[in-house]
Amino acid sequence: MKTGRNKPCPCGSGKKYKKCCARKKKVQLNVNLNKKYADSYNILIKTREEIEGMRRTGLLVIETLDLVEAKIKAGMTTDEINTIVHEFTIENGAIAACLNYRGFPKSVCVSVNEVICHGIPGDRVLKDGDIVNVDVTSILNSYYADANKTFFIGKPDANARKIVSVTRECLNVGMAQVKPGNKIGDIGWAIQQYAENHGCSVVREFVGHGIGLEFHEQPQVPHFGRKGEGVPLVPGMVFTIEPMINLGERHLKILRDNWTAVTRDKSLSAQFEQTVLVTETGCESLTPYNI
């Protein structure tokens, strides 16, 4: 790996290379960086092989979301979405990571309107004007990838259009912060700024997460916070960014099923999620779709 003198130092210090390891007799090797991240933060920097595996899983996740997008319509139950996702996942030799995860009873999360996340597929019938988040996590060859989108059913009203477009842009501005030398906190800072400047609020109780060999790894990736806080981003880190944005207040409650998170004020909530890799120069989505 060739490091430019003005590029962030590969040791993860956050300083420019010329002001860091370039001046030392011995340039710190990547293996030291991996060990430092494992020891200090419990973060697993991914190998080339692991990244390739996650890329394959990511493509399957995106294909699954595309299939849902093609089929989702008014009159369908959320359980029918579950069946589509489950069968497609199995047909492709993968496993639905949600099924039985900490007791979750279905293969995908389907969250309608005021449901923020972790909606359990069931008898709820989708109707014209609903917004529906479908969150797919698959395991292929033991590598995880996680992504979600919020879909419109029929014709969205102005509120639905607003919360979905603000949330979509929140993922965009969050991903734009992903590059070596930036910090984890920069992502949440950018998202919170955008959401609040547009009169929306950021859910605090659920955050993005490291992913790859497990569903939820370190680090946690908050969608709020201060610039310059948290762990420096270094090449080979893989994590999700998955802002949950409310049209009203940020507060939530969890329903009696112990999973479904809904807005306390019953306002609309949307979410978009991708799994991203920190590269030498910036960000590569392992679950790429246009935002």
Q: Which residues bind ligand MF3 (CB under 6 A)?
A: 98, 101-102, 104, 109, 118, 135, 137, 146, 240, 242, 273
- In the complex with ligand MF3, which residue's Cβ is closer, 86 or 118? 118
Which of ligand MF3, Co ion, none does residue 104 bind to, with CB < 5 to 8 Å depending on kind?
ligand MF3
Say which entry of Co ion, ligand MF3, none residue 98 contacts (CB below 5 to 8 A, set by partner kind). ligand MF3
Q: At 112, phi and psi to the nearest 5? A: -100, 130
Considering the complex, what minimum distance in angstroms separates the CB of residue 205 from ligand MF3? 12
Between 118 and 223, whose beta carbon lies closer to ligand MF3?
A: 118
Q: Which is nearer to Co ion, 34 or 240 (CB)?
A: 240
Distance CA 73, CA 289 (A): 21
Q: Using CB under 5 A, which residues numbered 133 to 152 contact Co ion?
A: 135, 146
The whole-angstrom separation of Cα 213 and Cα 209 is 12
Which stretches of 42-155 are DSSP H helices? 48-71, 78-91
Q: Residue 104 or 152: which CB sits closer to ligand MF3? A: 104
Closer residue to ligand MF3, CB minimum distance, 201 or 260: 260
- Inter-residue contact 246 to 263 (CB < 8 Å): yes
Output the smallest distance, CB 290 to ligand MF3, in A: 20
Round the CA-based radius of gyration of the chain to a whole number and report it. Answer: 19
Nearest of 187, 154, 156 to residue 172 by alpha carbon: 187
Residue 50 phi, psi dihedral angles, 5° rounding: -65, -40
CA distances from 137 to 27, 41, 134, 272 (A): 38, 24, 10, 13
- The token pair at 226 is 């201060």
Report cis status (omega within 30 of 0) of the bond before 222. no
Please report how close the Cβ of residue 254 comes to ligand MF3 at its closest, in angstroms: 12
Contact characters 255-274, Co ion, x per CB under 5 A: ------------------x-
Taking CB under 5 A as the criterion, which residues in 231-250 touch Co ion? 240, 242
Quote the least distance from Cβ 147 to ligand MF3, whole Å.
8
Stretch that binds Co ion, among 35-43, 87-95, 99-107, 128-136 (CB under 5 A): 128-136
Minimum CB–partner distance for residue 91 and Co ion (Å): 21
Give the dihedral of Cα atoms 143, 147, 153, 158; nearest 10 deg: 180
What's the token pair of residue 256? 């009696």
Question: Which range of residues in 20-28, 41-49, 130-138, 192-200 is near Co ion by CB under 5 A?
Answer: 130-138
Q: Are 8 and 181 spatial neighbours (Cβ–Cβ below 8 Å)?
A: yes
Work out the burial of residue 88: count CB atoms within 10 Å of its CB; fewer than 13 is exposed, 13-18 middle, 19 or more buried: buried
Q: Which two tokens stand for residue 181?
A: 């030398």
- Least distance in angstroms from the C-beta of 278 to Co ion: 17
Residue whose CB is less far from ligand MF3, 97 or 231: 97
Site for Co ion in 45-104 (CB under 5 A): none
Contacts to Co ion by CB under 5 A: 135, 146, 240, 242, 273
